[in-house]
Amino acid sequence: MAEDLEKQIAELEAAEDSEAVREEIARLREQLEGARGDQKLERGEAWERVLLARHPQRPYTLDYIRMLLTEFSELHGDRRFGDDPALVGGLARFEGRAVMVVGHQKGRDTKQKLQRNFGMTNPEGYRKALRLMRLAAKFSVPIITLVDTPGAYPGIGAEERGQAEAIAYNLKEIAKLRVPIIVVIHGEGGSGGALAIAVGDRVLMLENAVYSVISPESCSSILWRDWDHKVEAARILKLTAQDLLGFHLVDTIVPEPPGGGHTDQEQAAALLRDVLRAALDELRALSADELVRQRHQRLRKLAPFVKEA
């Protein structure tokens, strides 16, 4: 029920803006709150962030590339098996200087969604990402990664071709690259599938993005054996940008336009541009040795999450 209403609302928000549409959305929202009963959403609650992070009109990776970068030339393939449309990458310029950009890509309409496999990457996608990142490192080009995926694709072929190995190998090899790496979690940070391109020197996270070890739906189905507790699961998983900043797992929260990135894509990109520039300037000042040393150090800051008994 709630699911259908959310879908309808999203569809309407995507439609041509008019008084009638706005009224209808307001009506549906009331219904939605009624349908949820005691799970009534408060503004800023974790589940609302999940919905915003998945909003169908939110800018996707290629939108950010179009709005933030120039001279983008897409590079394809992992030179092993294939080219994964769910993960895109290529060389471009950010404010005049060369960068390598890689990111998960979702699709907006049904056809695109299928082509992009809903942003769920296969092993060849992760291997392409590493290939491009190594290429960048070889020629001292800084790397920007744009993270937005529900998770790595859980399919037979993905397992046969070593989904786990592809992710693991990325984590190890990206840690070695001797160029600045800036990670932008701009939509869904879906577990290992997100992390495979999210190891870097600065991790920026958009205000309404989420980053989690498991989706609230799956968490609910494991812990409560149903999907009815996803709102609660979203809350206890501590997956918002604010939560992650508190744990020092991200460095900076990037503000979004009021209401979320979908309300004004250009402004969303402009807000990201400023933070991106600052981070890139900071990192360019560091030597390659220092960069790699600090990257390893920041991963070791996790020790506060253990205690000596």
Partner 1 sequence: MAWFKKEKKPLETPADKKVQTEGLWVKCDGCRQILWKKDLEQNLQCCPKCGYHFKMTSQARLAMLFDEGKYTEHDAGLASPDPLEFTDRKSYRRRLEEAQKLTGMKDAILSGEGLLDGKPLIACAMDFRFIGGSMGAVVGEKITRAIDRAIAKRLPLVIVACSGGARMMEGAISLMQLATISAALAQLDAVPKPFISVLTDPTTGGTTASFAMLGDLNIAEPGALIGFAGPRVIEQTIKQKLPDGFQRAEFLLQHGMLDAIVPRKEMKAYLARSFRLLGAWDETAA
Is residue 75 close enough to count as binding partner 1 by CB under 8 A? Answer: no
Size of site (CB under 8 A) for partner 1: 60
Closest CA to 163 of 173, 154, 150, 172: 154
Is residue 156 close enough to count as binding partner 1 by CB under 8 A? Answer: yes
In the complex, the smallest distance separating the C-beta of residue 203 from partner 1, rounded to whole angstroms, is 10
3-state class of 13 per DSSP? Answer: helix
Query: What gap in Å lies between CA 222 and CA 237, rounded to an integer?
Result: 13
What residues have CB less than 8 Å from 260, skipping those under 6 apart?
A: 52, 55, 58, 208
Q: Which helix (H) or strand (E) holds 114?
A: helix 110-115
**Which position among 212, 265, 269, 275 is part of the footprint of partner 1 (CB under 8 A)?**
212
Is residue 239 close enough to count as binding partner 1 by CB under 8 A? Answer: yes
Is residue 309 close enough to count as binding partner 1 by CB under 8 A? Answer: yes
In the complex, the smallest distance separating the C-beta of residue 191 from partner 1, rounded to whole angstroms, is 6
7, 32 contact by CB (below 8 A): no
Query: What gap in Å lies between CA 309 and CA 302, rounded to an integer?
Result: 17
Is residue 290 close enough to count as binding partner 1 by CB under 8 A? Answer: no
Longest dimension (CA), the chain: 62
Is residue 217 close enough to count as binding partner 1 by CB under 8 A? Answer: no
Q: Which residues bind partner 1 (CB under 8 A)?
A: 152-156, 158-165, 167-169, 171-173, 175-176, 189, 191-192, 195-196, 198-199, 211-214, 218-219, 222-224, 229, 232-233, 236-239, 243-244, 247, 249, 295-296, 299-300, 302-309
